[in-house]
C-alpha cells in the first residue's frame, strides 16, 4: 500500500449500490471540492453487492486516481454495515461518509472537517428538512421521537445518518463494537465524546430511493432493540400492573357472584363470559410479551454465534499498491 499518510488525512467513504450512473459525477464533485479546500483525502468506495457495472467503474477510477481505494462486499449488507466496513480499512486521521447521490451538501462535509480540525472528536450532521413524502416523513419523525423517549441514545431533530469521527473513535468502533444488528450512528452517539451537531438542508433526490420499506423497518427495529431496554422492562411493569388489577377485581367478582345476583354496576356477569374474556386477553398478552422477549433472545443468539457482521472480498484492492 502506498496511500499517502498525513496527520490530517480524511478518509471519505462512498457506499455504492447499483451506482454506475451516479459514481463518477459524485467522485468528480467530491475530488474537486476537497482539492479546492486543500483537504488531504483518501476515497474509499465500497460496492454493496451491486448488480450493474459499479465494480468495474470503481476499478477504473482507482486506476485514474491513486487516492481511490475500491472495496467490494461479499453481498448486499445495506449502508450501515458498509460504514463499519469502511472504518475497518480506512487509514485516515478521521472518517466521514457521503452517499453516491450527494444527499449531504459538500459544504456540510467541509464544515464538519473544519470543526474536527479545531479538536472535536465527533461531528454529527443532521437534516433540518425532509421531502420524502408524507408517509416516509411521518414514519421517520415518529421513529426518532420514540428513540429519544425510550432509548439511551439521543438523536438530533429529524435524526442523523452521517458523522465525522476521529481516529480514536474509529479504533474503538473497530475493536470494541460488534457490527451486528445495529448502526454506526447509534454506536458513535452512545460513545459520547461531546458530539458537535451540524444542521443542513438536504438537496432534492434524483430518482427513486433505493431504501425499501423492508430495509427501513429492519434498520428501525435493529437500532431500537440494540439501544433500548424499555420493551423488556415494560413487560415487568405490565405484569405487575395487571396482577394488581386482578387482585382488585377478585373481591368485586366474588361480591357480584354471591351478593348481587351476578351483576356488577347493573351489568350481568355470566361466568363463562368472564372466563373466556380473561383467557383470551391474557393469552394475547402473553404472546405479545413472548414476542418482545424473542426479539432480544434472537439478537443474543446471533451475537453468540460469533459470525462477522460483514465480509469484504479478497480481490478488493490492487496488489501493486
pLDDT per residue as tens, the chain (321 positions): 334 457 899 999 999 998 888 899 999 999 999 999 999 999 999 998 888 899 999 999 999 999 999 999 988 888 888 999 999 999 999 999 998 888 888 999 999 999 999 999 999 988 876 666 666 667 777 777 777 777 777 777 767 778 999 999 999 999 988 888 788 888 888 888 989 999 888 766 555 555 565 666 666 666 666 666 677 777 777 777 776 776 676 676 666 656 655 555 556 656 655 675 677 677 777 777 777 777 777 677 667 766 677 778 876 554 433
HSE of 251 in the Cβ direction (CA atoms, 13 Å)?
Answer: 4
Per the domain annotation, does 91 fall within a domain? yes
194 and 250 share one domain: no
Same domain, 148 and 218: yes
Residues 255 and 191 in one domain: no
Domain match, 41 and 127 both: yes
Do 236 and 187 share a structural domain? no
What CA–CA distance (Å, rounded) separates 84 from 176? 12
Whether 44 and 146 share a structural domain? yes
What CA–CA distances, in Å, run from 313 to 48, 58, 71, 161, 310?
11, 14, 7, 25, 10
In the chain, the number of structural domains is 2
Q: Pick from 175, 195, 227: which residue ends a domain?
A: 227
Considering the domain boundaries, does residue 147 fall inside one? yes
- Is residue 314 included in any domain, yes or no? no
The C-alpha cell of 200 is what? 443542513
Same domain assignment for residues 200 and 242 = no
243 and 209 co-located in one domain: no
One domain, residues 221 and 193: yes
Q: Do residues 218 and 245 share a domain?
A: no
- Residue 39, by phi and psi: left (phi above 0), alpha (psi -120 to 50) or beta? beta
Q: How far apart are the first and last CA of the chain?
A: 4
pLDDT at 96: 95
Q: Is 127 within the bounds of a domain?
A: yes
| pLDDT at residue 227, rounded to an integer | 62
Q: Note the pLDDT of residue 319.
A: 42
How far apart are the C-alpha atoms of 84 and 321, rounded to whole Å? Answer: 23
Residues 6+ apart with CB under 8 A from 318: 59, 62
Q: Is residue 59 part of a domain?
A: yes
| Under 8 Å between Cβ of 116 and 190 | no
> Structural domain of residue 99, as residue ranges?
10-227
Amino acid at each position: 500500500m502506498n496511500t499517502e499518510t498525513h496527520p490530517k488525512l480524511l478518509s471519505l467513504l462512498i457506499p455504492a449500490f447499483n451506482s454506475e450512473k451516479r459514481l463518477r459525477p459524485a467522485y468528480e464533485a467530491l475530488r474537486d471540492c476537497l482539492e479546492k479546500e486543500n483537504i488531504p483525502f483518501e476515497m474509499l468506495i465500497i460496492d454493496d453487492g451491486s448488480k450493474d457495472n459499479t465494480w468495474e467503474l470503481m476499478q477504473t477510477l482507482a486506476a485514474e486516481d491513486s487516492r481511490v481505494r475500491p472495496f467490494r462486499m461479499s453481498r448486499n449488507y445495506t449502508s450501515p454495515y458498509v460504514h463499519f466496513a469502511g472504518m475497518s480499512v480506512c487509514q485516515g486521521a478521521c472518517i466521514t461518509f457521503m452517499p453516491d447521490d450527494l444527499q449531504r451538501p459538500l459544504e456540510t462535509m467541509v464544515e464538519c472537517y473544519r470543526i474536527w480540525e479545531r479538536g472535536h472528536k465527533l461531528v454529527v450532521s443532521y437534516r433540518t428538512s425532509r421531502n420524502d413524502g408524507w408517509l416516509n416523513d411521518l414514519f421517520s419523525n415518529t421513529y426518532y421521537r420514540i428513540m429519544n423517549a425510550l432509548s439511551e441514545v439521543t438523536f438530533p431533530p429529524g435524526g442523523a445518518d452521517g458523522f465525522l469521527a476521529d481516529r480514536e473513535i474509529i479504533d474503538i468502533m473497530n475493536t470494541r463494537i460488534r457490527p451486528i444488528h445495529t448502526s454506526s450512528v447509534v454506536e458513535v452517539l452512545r460513545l459520547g465524546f461531546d458530539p458537535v451537531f451540524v444542521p443542513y438542508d438536504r438537496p432534492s433526490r434524483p430518482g427513486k430511493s433505493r431504501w425499501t420499506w423492508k430495509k427501513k423497518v429492519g434498520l428501525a427495529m435493529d437500532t431500537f432493540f440494540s439501544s433500548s431496554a424499555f420493551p423488556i422492562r415494560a413487560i415487568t411493569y405490565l405484569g405487575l400492573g395487571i396482577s394488581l388489577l386482578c387482585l382488585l377485581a377478585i373481591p368485586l367478582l366474588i361480591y357480584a357472584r354471591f351478593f348481587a345476583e351476578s351483576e356488577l354496576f347493573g351489568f350481568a356477569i355470566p361466568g363463562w363470559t368472564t372466563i373466556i374474556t380473561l383467557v383470551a386477553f391474557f393469552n394475547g398478552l402473553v404472546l405479545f410479551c413472548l414476542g418482545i422477549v424473542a426479539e432480544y433472545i434472537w439478537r443474543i443468539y446471533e451475537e453468540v454465534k460469533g459470525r462477522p457482521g460483514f465480509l469484504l472480498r479478497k480481490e478488493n484492492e490492487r496488489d501493486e499498491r
